[in-house]
Amino acid sequence: MSMWTGHKMSPVLVFWLALCLSGTWAVDRGNFKTCDQSAFCKRQRALKPGESPYRALLETLELTNTRLTLQLINDNNKVRLLLELYRLQGNITRVKINELKPLKPRYEVPDVLIREPPTEPLSLLSQDENGVVLSLGAESQRVIVSARPFRLDIMEGSDVVMSLNSRGLLTFEHLRMRKDTKTRLTQQTRLRYYTLKCTFFFSSSVVFQMFLLLFSLFACQTAKEEEEKVEDGMWEETFKSHSDSKPNGPSAVSLDFSLPGVEHVYGIPEHADNLRLKTTDNGDPYRLYNLDVFQYELYNPMALYGAVPVMLAHNTQRTTGIFWLNAAETWVDISSNTAGKTVFGKMLDYVQGSSETPQTDVRWISESGIIDVFIMLGPTPKDVFSQYASLTGTQSFPPLSSLGYHQCRWNYNDQEDVQAVDAGFDEHDIPYDFIWLDIEHTDGKRYFTWDPHKFATPKEMLQGLMDKRRKMVAIVDPHIKVDSNYKIHNEIRSRGFYVKNKDGGDYEGWCWPGSAGYPDFTREDMRAWWASMFAYDQYEGSMENLYTWNDMNEPSVFNGPEVTMHKDAMHGAWEHRDVHNLYGLYVQMATADGQLQRSGGTERPFVLTRAFFAGSQRYGAVWTGDNAAEWDHLKISIPMCLSLGLVGISFCGADVGGFFKSPSAELLVRWYQTGAYQPFFRAHAHLDTPRREPWLFGPENTALIREVVRQRYTLLPYWYQQFYQAHRTGQPVMRPLWVEYPQDPATFAVDDEFLIGRDLLVHPVTEEGARGVTAYLPGKDGVWFDVHTFQKHNGAQNLYIPVTMSSIPVFQRGGSIIPRKLRVRRSSSCMEDDPYTLYVALNLQRTAEGELYIDDGHTFNYEKKEFIHRRLSFANNILSSVNLAPDAQFTTRSWIERIIILGASKPSKVTVKTTDGQENPVEFDFDASMSVLTLRKPGVNAGADWTVTLQ
């Protein structure tokens, strides 16, 4: 939730919120900085390309088996930097730049990398007075370090893959002592003294008087320049009524990267923008600074709730990635030499023989810290995903139930309300797995508590859900009510765990409870204590089917600068400016650890977070925050989640129906149809909106919503298998078309449709009153089958699809096998032992492949090899199931009850053979008009070896 008036708030807070919000439903841009209002961004952006003061001191070069070090010098101020270059396993190059001798240590981001990345040997190929050439292992891959000005080029053969500082925009503002007013006055006094003394001896000298005049002018100009620099926000900065003291002065870092041959770049979430990132020459850069942006606008580079400083670049030859490991406020500028050129302009270039190679230039600017960048060299999209996963980890493997449907509202009023909503789903035969409670369930916004009147017997409520094999999520936010009668507050204060203000006292700000403290989650001992609060004997009323939602963890501070924490607040020795974008990750990390500990390490956690950073994928799910019930917000949910998937965070979704405002029935239905095919599927609504449970919009719309929720549940085996793969490999679950079709330029900017895994293509209907959509079906020699009608379509075409309100265009790739469970029950847990139907979609070669993954759905026993993982394949008219994990042990009661083969021919006979050698006939039907063969009751266990032969 963004700040908005709720119940039980103090009159002062209500008044303050009323002033701030003024009843508007749109973002107040004035609450958030532009680059011109962010002193370091303005300062760095004013630098001109091609004037780099940095050169490499080649005589300082040292090369060990694992790293190269080299000093750089700024010829303007003579400050030296230390460059470190590493070749990492998996085709990754790491570049670190820090001050050689800083006045004090500069912040280096901890806890994001899963380990110190393993290195591989570097070797020197050649060296002269102009630079050095290093081998990156493969014979054709090398790094060229040029000395004057400093520049770093990564080459493959004769091609430049990426250049660093080719535009000369490397900046490293060194830490320095501030020359305070007293020092300046002393210097001026000394100047007057020596002037008078000299005048006494040389008063008759006209030459001296002229010298004195020039010297005075020079001194005044120097003082004026110094004053201007101070005014420019180097040592203190004011935004609106907020002052930032900047005790360490200017400390920004910046570096530019050039990408020859590249026109498409992606990533750096979170922004409400298209998948393909735009050039920023004529506006603000993209901003990465976790913020609670009330009613955010679309299609602009403003910062939102999370920040992952990872960018992917792609063309038909190669995919690369840049991971800028810095947790301070960061701005990213993108420019392109082909930006603005029309298709006709590009054709004209081709006809006229223009030799201009497309190029994208990217510049990263961070307020503090060091330069620590990982260059992921691909060369395929999947290689980049693996490379990034090797650094920051993979998506956590969620409990199967969390892939079902979630019902949420700010707020369900009381236990009776929860019970009534739960019963409503049963009455209308709509499955769901989780019901959610927002902040009003607590005792006066004191987290880890329950309202004693409205939720007097929480265990009774939870047990009622458990009896139906359903679960609950309750919110636990990281702002703690300052109240001496509140156990959590007293503990945190007594242990000294709160973030401190610049004067050393506990930092306090306004949030939902009124005056609130903010636990310092950067501290390991604080996180351990927080985790201990989720124990069943600490979190009274909690049970094993209660999970957690971390909201407001940017952190949101209603009366803070840009609705967040002051940058000069202190986390131990570090300022908040150094760690800001990490705060939300640490909150989710501690919460997930708490859920893990309460079960003795056996149960997989489920934690939803609003704020996030690189590595957040290891701890749970993310949603796109406080969206609105508008068609454009429905559309933007697709590129927002695709962008997150590209940088490791697969478990993403948007509030179905829109958080703010009230959707029309048409918009609500279309949003359910879209959300059911996105990884995290939750409906949520603001407390001031009318109720919108799925059955409140008339029987016809209830039926439409029921149908698409049931579609989600039939596909849970496939969703679960995709998350297992994401957990193992780092590949995104919901992915852009270009990931699977990297050589097809027609896919590069598509963000109104997407793939789930590689085998399902979804083109949601996101236009009001739509009568049809045009979907691009990729794959020149491929085919796609409409999953509803089984109609076959060729790949590499734009297909117009007429739609009605019941339509959601979904296609299965020819050459794939997808398992489904068609017996939908009230929750996923109730379907555990139900049988499977296999959908076999044949390609033009009449072959197909797929997988089936089964485990207990909720524990970590899969790590002990307790699972079933099978390869399903169809070739030469034989469908077989083969064990992919012979050393794994798990049994299932599920069986294969139906096999549907799309694109088939009619057989004369079908038989099934099991491991015991028995061969039995299988009943079948054949629809000649659609070439669909249905095999009935082959009667084999889902975990067994078997073959089905068509004769």
Q: Which tokens sit at 328? A: 């301070």
For residues 285 and 335, give the distance between their C-alpha atoms in angstroms, rounded to a whole number. Answer: 10
For residues 441 and 951, give the distance between their C-alpha atoms in angstroms, rounded to a whole number. Answer: 62
For residues 109 and 111, give the distance between their C-alpha atoms in angstroms, rounded to a whole number. Answer: 7
Q: Which amino acid type is present at position 429?
A: D
Q: Which residues contact 183 (CB under 8 A, 6 or more apart)?
A: none
Let me know: does 547 contact 471? Beta carbons within 8 Å.
yes
Catalytic annotation, residues: 551, 626
514-517 sheet: strands from edge to edge: 480-481, 514-517, 508-511
Integer distance in angstroms from the first to the last C-alpha of the chain? 60
Q: Which tokens sit at 464? A: 């009622």
Q: Which residues contact 385 (CB under 8 A, 6 or more apart)?
A: 646, 648, 729, 730, 731, 732
Q: Which tokens sit at 851? A: 């997988």
**Cα angle 465-678-756, degrees, rounded to a multiple of 5:** 125
Q: Which amino acid type is present at position 576?
A: H
For residues 794 and 905, give the distance between their C-alpha atoms in angstroms, rounded to a whole number. Answer: 18
For residues 578 and 252, give the distance between their C-alpha atoms in angstroms, rounded to a whole number. Answer: 11
Let me know: does 317 contact 302? Beta carbons within 8 Å.
no
| CA 727 to the chain's CA centroid | 15
Q: Which tokens sit at 704? A: 């439409």
For residues 759 and 851, give the distance between their C-alpha atoms in angstroms, rounded to a whole number. Answer: 11
For residues 597 and 713, give the distance between their C-alpha atoms in angstroms, rounded to a whole number. Answer: 30
Q: Quickly count: other Cβ atoms within 10 Å of residue 23's Cβ.
A: 5
810-813 sheet: strands from edge to edge: 734-735, 754-756, 760-762, 810-813, 783-786, 792-794
Print the SS3 string covering 685-720: CCCCCCCCCCCCCCHHHHHHHHHHHHHHHHCHHHHH
- The b/e string for 320-355 (b: 16+ C-beta within 10 A; e otherwise) is bbbbbbbbbbbbbbbbbebeebeeeeeeeeeeeeee
**Among residues 97, 84, 231, 256, which one has the least CA distance to residue 164?**
256
Helix (H/G/I), strand (E/B), else coil: 672: helix
Q: Which tokens sit at 289? A: 């600074």
For residues 174 and 101, give the distance between their C-alpha atoms in angstroms, rounded to a whole number. Answer: 9
For residues 522 and 327, give the distance between their C-alpha atoms in angstroms, rounded to a whole number. Answer: 12
Q: Which tokens sit at 27? A: 């973002």
Pairing of strands 734-735, 681-683: unpaired
Rg for the chain, CA atoms, rounded: 30
Which contiguous run of DSSP H or E holds residue 472? strand 471-475
Q: Which residues contact 308 (CB under 8 A, 6 or more apart)?
A: 267, 268, 269, 270, 288, 612, 613, 614, 616, 644, 647, 648, 649
Q: Which residues contact 822 (CB under 8 A, 6 or more apart)?
A: 714, 837, 898
